[in-house]
Amino acid sequence: AQSGTVAADPQQYDQAYLSPVTIGNSQLMLDFDTGSADLWAFSNETPASESVGHAKYDSSTGTELQGYSWSITYGDQSGAAGNVYADKVVVGGVTATKQAVEAATSISTSFSDNTDSDGLLGLAFSSINTVTPKQQTTFFDTVKPTLAKALFTCDLKQGNAGSYTFGYIDTSKYTGSVTYVPVDDSQGFWSFTAGGYSVGSDNATSGSVGVSIADTGTSLLYLPAAVAKAYYAKAGGKFDNQQGGYTLPCNGNAPDFNVAIGGKTFVVPGSYIAYAPITSGSQTCFGGIQANTGIGFNIFGDVFLKAVYAIFDVSQGAPRLGFAAQ
Ligand SMILES: O=C(CCCl)NNC1=[NH+]CCN1
């Protein structure tokens, strides 16, 4: 049975985390994304003007799936589209011999401009894979039958290399016990229900955060408008239309955000919520917590995930998420 581990290297401000992946004879840095289900890469089929500075998948090692195509748009309105190949994909020693690899023929500017990232490796449920006429499986779903345990884990860190594992849980990566919650995969996401919250030292949680997805592909933590408002009222922040979200002082006094999941309280340090100066050198920071207005559910992105050890587990039949403090 297979198992393995791969580094998750943070970009500036932990905006995304990149992991080395071998596809055919190409070595690329991909953004592992539990909020989507396509494995796509810059490729020899990507216009040169859109792929400056990126490593590219050389599709000559693959078998083209004739007439297949893909097209994806993400929550932040970025996107890409292209053709499909079957090729060997290796992640941390775990091998998929015939993985659907989606070669980009067009890519939005936010991906072209981010030269650290050579594509995405989707880890949401294959039910939202965009390949047509025949939907394809994610890397995790492809290798799942060969894994020692049908699960993968995510150990992201603030400003330091973390890791993803496939097929095993690294018990040295967390403290205390793991709290498991049921996952509703009906929309293709790792969706769970978060409970009460509190701000700063008062640890008695109140209110209810609600339906949320665990999404490594999203940088920030998107919460109900009322929860975001309550946080920034205590953090001395404000909603800044010009910045398009809440901002707060970068002065190191931001309060922690505490949220109950499965009856256990998890703490997002205030330092993660003073996310990044709005412009270089500014004493005003863009907030790591923002309102989920227009999304329809909460997104527990990297600002939350780098505070915990997360286990994406389908080994019990029904999918579940495990969270532990790190
Ligand atoms: O698209 C989403 C949000 C799903 Cl609700 N997350 N994944 C991702 N990948 C690139 C930007 N965002």
Q: Report the pLDDT value the prediction gives residue 101, as an integer from 0 to 100.
A: 99
| ipTM confidence | 0.98
Cis preceding-peptide flag for 133 (omega within 30 of 0) = yes
Burial class (CB in 10 A: 0-12, 13-18, 19+), 200: middle
Query: H or E element: which one contains 28?
Result: strand 26-33
Q: What is the CA radius of gyration of the chain?
A: 19
73 lines ligand 1 (CB under 6 A): no
- From the CA of 275, how far away is ligand 1's center (Å)? 18
DSSP, res 232: H
DSSP per-residue codes, 54-72:
---B-GGGSEEEEEEEEEE
Please tell me the distance from the alpha carbon of residue 73 to that of residue 79, in angstroms, as a whole number.
Answer: 4
Q: Tell me which residue has its CA closest to atom 3 in ligand 1.
A: 75
Q: In what order do the strands lie in the sheet with 257-261?
A: 197-199, 257-261, 264-268
Please tell me the distance from the alpha carbon of residue 56 to that of residue 210, in angstroms, as a whole number.
Answer: 40
- Backbone φ and ψ for 226, nearest 5 degrees, come out as -65, -35
188 lines ligand 1 (CB under 6 A): no
74 lines ligand 1 (CB under 6 A): yes
Task: Supply angle C-alpha 182, 183, 187, rounded to 5.
Answer: 155
Please tell me the distance from the alpha carbon of residue 124 to that of residue 114, in angstroms, as a whole number.
Answer: 22
- From the CA of 40, how far away is ligand 1's center (Å)? 14
- From the CA of 216, how far away is ligand 1's center (Å)? 8
Sequence letter at residue 226: A
Q: Which one of 76, 113, 219, 302 would you pick to mutate in the ligand 1 pocket, going by the greatest count of ligand atoms within 8 A of its CB? A: 76
Write out the catalytic residue numbers: 33, 215
87 lines ligand 1 (CB under 6 A): no
Burial class (CB in 10 A: 0-12, 13-18, 19+), 315: middle
78 lines ligand 1 (CB under 6 A): yes
Q: Report the pLDDT value the prediction gives residue 202, as an integer from 0 to 100.
A: 78
**Residues near 142 by Cβ (< 8 Å), separated by ≥ 6?**
89, 96, 98, 99, 100
- From the CA of 265, how far away is ligand 1's center (Å)? 26
Q: Which one of 121, 215, 220, 297 would you pick to mutate in the ligand 1 pocket, going by the greatest count of ligand atoms within 8 A of its CB? A: 215
Q: What are the mean pLDDT values of the chain's consecutive 10-residue runs (326 residues total)?
A: 98 98 98 99 98 98 98 97 99 98 98 98 99 99 98 98 98 98 98 98 87 98 98 98 98 97 97 98 98 98 99 98 98
Q: Are 131 and 64 in contact (CB under 8 A)?
A: no
Q: Report the pLDDT value the prediction gives residue 204, as an integer from 0 to 100.
A: 77
Q: Report the pLDDT value the prediction gives residue 235, as an integer from 0 to 100.
A: 98
Give how far Cα 135 sits from Cα of 38, 75, 83, 127, 322, Å. Answer: 10, 20, 13, 8, 28
191 lines ligand 1 (CB under 6 A): no
Query: H or E element: which one contains 103?
Result: strand 94-107
Please tell me the distance from the alpha carbon of residue 87 to that of residue 278, in angstroms, as a whole number.
Answer: 42
Query: H or E element: which one contains 303?
Result: helix 302-305
Q: Which two tokens stand for residue 268?
A: 């997002």
Q: Which residue has the tokens 């998948």?
A: 57
Q: Are 37 and 188 in contact (CB under 8 A)?
A: yes
Query: H or E element: which one contains 169?
Result: none
